[in-house]
Structure 1
């Protein structure tokens, strides 16, 4: 009997690769090791020199440029999945952005434009991906996005991204409800502080990480591969009875005040 954690024969899309510190990289590595095939996307041509050398560790997936604000590029990514496989089993959304001026300032002072941009890139793009994925998940599937505990509590220096991630987690619950009858499961994965490209924009990130490490019951930080391993579980048959959750991979920090 095959392992319930095996993804042999499963196919999907991983978005948001920027460099070796990207959560998307840990996810793609783990998914490949579990037997999956995938398309992997990155947002800008300037990332190519960082992402192309990572192909070997991800099983040489097809790499695609995809700025999620460019509707044609997003449509082309899913069209390629349809052309290659005719279906999808999983989609990983690992994308977040907010203008630094709005991210570093007070919530009450954030600009309308900055708030709209952060919501569009970090939250609504997940809904757009779900819309493209739904007709390809004819036998069910799994949609996953990345969050942080700043979605549910006020974390110093997380600022604008807190409300944005709260909206993303809420969107997961509604998507899970709407798509569940088709066998499509939806989860948010709430990771502890990881020095990703997106996290580098947070003010005093190093202080945030030190506090997390000291405060977490396991007294350590998590790695991108830890997140990837959780994604494998959620996307595999082992996670087939789960949906609509926020799954914490943070060394237990979220349980402490």
Structure 2
């Protein structure tokens, strides 16, 4: 099967590429391979050189800074999209952050400020993106965000990000309910552990990877390409009757984890 035209004519925004190992890059690559145009963001000037070559490879017509903690940057991204395209068909939110001390400690010990920062960047930013996407998705669309199994079950060393991702998954369901009448679909994607830069911040991550490989029914890790393929399908018209789901891409780990 050649899916090269399944997303022809569609235009999407991908937020969260840090390098070629990022889940967001795997998704952007799949969107482009399936025929979509993608706008790409980078966190800041330090991150820009690591993302710029990928944006060129993806032929991104828009390559913009987007630090959701900086006043006005997210709004500027959507203003540029409106000016360039006048519409948006899909969005991928693949950003998360918690201060190191709060991430590596017990949840019961996390600081108020650390918790609020983690929730703001990892969860509330998705709400903000949904609000900005809504008027641009005149003919419907799809919003995707990245979660993890630690949102529903306690995963050792995942710590503060567990409650934060649980909030993100709940948010995705409420957004799906609120935006469904406009044809806007929303999903939380739950990949198995991948060796990304973001994951490297989790304590004893190599042990988590090893356990996941042992326990998953397929006894393998998933790849960013695996996640990208599912996401490309979900934003396509073939999935227009699907919304509000937690979508596992984890070699079956969630059924035994």
8 Å contact from structure 1 (residues 4, 237) kept in 2: no
Q: Look up the match of 1:220.
A: 220
Secondary structure of 2:47's aligned partner? helix
Give the match for residue 185 of structure 1: 185
- How much has 1:109 moved relative to structure 2? 0.2
**Where do 5+ consecutive residues of structure 2 fail to align?**
none
**In angstroms, what is the RMSD of aligned CA positions?**
1.4
Distance 1:55 1:139 in 2: 26
Indicate how the Cα distance of structure 1 residues 55 and 4 shifts in structure 2: closer, same or farther if over 3 A, else same. closer
1:110 matched to 2:106? no
Partner of 1:174: 174
Aligned to 1:80: 80
Per chain length, whose mean CA-contact separation is higher, i.e. which structure has more relative contact order (CA < 8 Å, sep 6+)?
1
The answer as to whether partners of 2:172 and 2:187 remain within 8 angstroms in 1 is: yes
TM-score, reference length from structure 1: 0.97
Question: Which sits farther off after the overlay, 69-78 or 156-165?
Answer: 69-78
> Which residue does 1:145 correspond to in 2?
145
1:44-67 residue CA offsets vs partner (Å, 9 max, x unmatched) = 211122112223442344211100
Aligned residue number for residue 22 of structure 2: 22
Kept after mapping to 2: 8 A contact 1:194/1:222: yes
Match of 2:165 in 1: 165
Secondary structure class of the residue paired with 1:155: coil
**Conserved 8 A contact 1:5-1:236:** no
Q: Distance in 2 between matches of 1:211 and 1:69?
A: 34
Structure 1 consecutive aligned stretches of length 4 or more whose deviation exceeds 3 Å:
2-5
- 8 Å contact kept, 1:89–1:140: yes
Verify the 8 A CA contact 2:4 2:34 in the aligned structure 1.
Answer: no
Q: How many residues align?
A: 256
> Alpha-carbon deviation of 1:3?
6.5
Contact 1:9-1:36 at 8 Å conserved across structures: yes
Residue in 1 that maps onto 2:64: 64
Q: Deviations over 1:3-22 (max 9, x none)?
A: 69700000010001111111
CA distance in 1, matches of 2:101, 2:199: 15
Structure 1 regions of 5+ residues with no counterpart?
none
Of 246-255 and 52-61, more deviation after overlay is shown by: 52-61
